[in-house]
């Protein structure tokens, strides 16, 4: 289909029925808090999301995307913790980190905050991973560039009508079935 750069994005070219689907990396730029508000990609995607919302367009976020985001947040917080405490991943695994009650409570608060922002801003939809999708993922592995979650996300969302994906992941650019907005 088409790849449109954010700089060339014109919302009026899309029907009012079009649903915009945010990928994990967009949520990470806009909602994780790990990027400064002056970061060019943070600005780019925040402005794009705001433009879509301001025009009363629908933005959907899959539970698949949210789980990937929360897993990424946990990984980032784990890395920050070991860096701040001068310990190595070999001596303090992510499993050890998960047993740290104080860190677990802090992480829960961060995840709740991020989830609340997302839930209050976008339309959340359930995601499902089926054995058929995983079979298709592996059978068609040489025909796409996706990791399993992104493959399932696209497969799932294409069944929901006219959708446009918003992603900074270059893997999406190789899929001729989708419309994509990217930086």
pTM above 0.85, yes or no: yes
Which DSSP string do the residues of the chain spell out, in sequence order? -EEEEGGG--GGGS-TT-EEEE-HHHHHHHHSS-S-TT-HHHHHHHHHHHHHHHTT-EEEEEHHHHHHHHHHHHHHHHHHHHHHTT--TTTS-HHHHHT-HHHHHHHHHHHHHHHHHHHHHSEEE-----HHHHHHHHHTGGG----HHHHHHHHHHHTTSSEEEE---GGGGG-TTSEEEE-
The tens-digit pLDDT sequence of the chain (183 residues) is 799 999 999 999 999 999 999 999 999 999 998 988 889 999 999 999 999 999 999 999 999 999 999 999 999 999 999 999 999 999 999 999 999 999 999 999 999 999 999 999 999 999 989 999 999 999 999 999 999 999 999 998 998 889 999 999 999 999 999 999 999
């Amino acid at each position: 289909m088409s790849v449109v750069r954010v700089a060339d994005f014109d919302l009026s070219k899309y029907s009012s029925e079009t649903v915009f689907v945010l990928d994990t990396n967009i949520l990470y730029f806009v909602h994780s808090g790990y990027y400064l508000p002056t970061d060019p990609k943070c600005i780019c995607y925040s402005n794009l999301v705001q433009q879509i919302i301001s025009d009363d367009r629908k933005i959907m976020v899959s539970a698949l995307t949210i789980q990937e985001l929360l897993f990424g947040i946990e990984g980032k917080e784990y890395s920050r913790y070991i860096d701040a405490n001068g310990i190595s991943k070999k001596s303090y695994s992510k499993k050890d980190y998960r047993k740290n009650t104080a860190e677990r409570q802090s992480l829960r608060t961060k995840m709740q905050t991020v989830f609340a922002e997302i839930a209050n801003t976008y339309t959340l939809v359930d995601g499902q991973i089926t054995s058929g999708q995983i079979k298709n993922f592996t059978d068609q592995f040489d025909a796409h560039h996706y990791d399993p979650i992104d493959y399932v996300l696209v497969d799932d969302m294409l069944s929901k009508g006219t959708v446009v994906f918003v992603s900074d992941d270059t893997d999406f650019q190789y899929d001729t079935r989708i419309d994509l907005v990217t930086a």
